[in-house]
Structure formats: C-alpha cells, structure tokens
Amino acid sequence: MQLFDDGIKKAIKKWSYPVWFVIKDDSTNCTCVDFTTHQAKPGCKKCFGTGKKVILRRMNAAHQSIDASMRGEGLAMGELNIVGVYYTLQNVKVSEGDMILDGEFLDVIQNYYPMRSDHSNPIYYKYDTAPVKSNRATIIKSLKETLKGAGYSA
Ligand SMILES: [Zn+2]
C-alpha cells in the first residue's frame, strides 16, 4: 500500500491551503452560556456560539466540494446535508461539532476519520462537513474580528 499512501499524501499536500479549525474544549463551559436555557451567545468571541472554550488552529487542509453550487447563495439553510470533505495530513485532534473557517465559509464537522492502511498509523485525516446552520454570519464575523485582533488577515 506504500505507493497508494504516497499518492494520497502528495495529492493532499498539493491541494492544501491554510484554514482555521475551531476546536471546542468540551470540559470548559463558556461564561456566556445562559443558566436557564443553556444557550450560548452566537456573537460570543470566546466560544463563537459553541458554549465551550475554543481553540483556533491554523492548519493546512485540502477541500473537496461534493456540489460546489450548493455552497453559493442558493444554499438551503434548513438542510444539513454533507456537502464538503476536508483532508489533512496532520492530526488536528478535532471532534464532531467542531468547525472549519475557510475564507467566507464556515462548516461544522459531521464526521471525522483517521485514515489507515493496513496496520500502520493514520496516513491522513478526513472530515465530512456541512455548512453551519444557525447564526453563521454572526459567528464568521466574530471569528474574523478575533483573528484580526490576533494579527491574522484571514
Ligand atoms: Zn461564549
């Protein structure tokens, strides 16, 4: 399987570009979470609406759209179909429900798979994603403002 593995690695490397992973620390609740409703504030710049402490990680990832047209303005916001797949060579250590900020797109990770061949260590990681459904524009704005404040342009 070595040749196959090398081919995949090469392809991922070739098509990779930096995106931001928005990774929740499920053990730490954000202070914005309402005690009675358990809802986080969508505009919160600590948890970005997740209700948990969040780590932002810039990682190289390759993206494959299942249907590129679905990512445009005609997107049905009520649907949560899997419309994208991301690949990384490094283990980003995400969990389902974490998000990926990719330019103007914000996706939520639906499934996450370490991809192995034979009995070796994972050779790459695959993430099925769908657009964030609620408060997407607000969350993107908060993320971008936070990143800008930290000196990043994306
Ligand atoms: Zn919060």
Cβ-Cβ contacts under 8 Å for 40 (sequence gap 6 or more): 30, 32, 33, 34, 47, 49, 50, 51
Contact at 8 Å (CB) between 129 and 83? yes
pLDDT (tens digit per residue) in 116-130 = 877 678 899 999 998
CA 91 to centroid of ligand 1, rounded, Å? 26
pLDDT digit string (tens) for 5-63?
888 899 999 999 999 999 999 999 999 999 899 999 989 999 999 999 999 999 999 99
Query: Residue 35 falls within a domain, yes or no?
Result: no
* Structural domains in the chain (count): 1
Distance 19 CA to ligand 1 centre (A): 22
| DSSP alpha helix (H) spans, 16-130 | none
Let me know how long the chain is. 154
Find the domain containing 109 and state its range.
2-18+61-149
Please give the distance, rounded to the nearest whole angstrom, from the Cα atom of residue 63 to the centre of ligand 1: 28
Q: What angle do CA 75, 92, 104 make, to 5 degrees?
A: 30
In this structure, is residue 53 part of a structural domain?
no
Centre of ligand 1 to C-alpha 7, Å, is 41
d(CA 94, CA 44): 20
pTM: 0.85
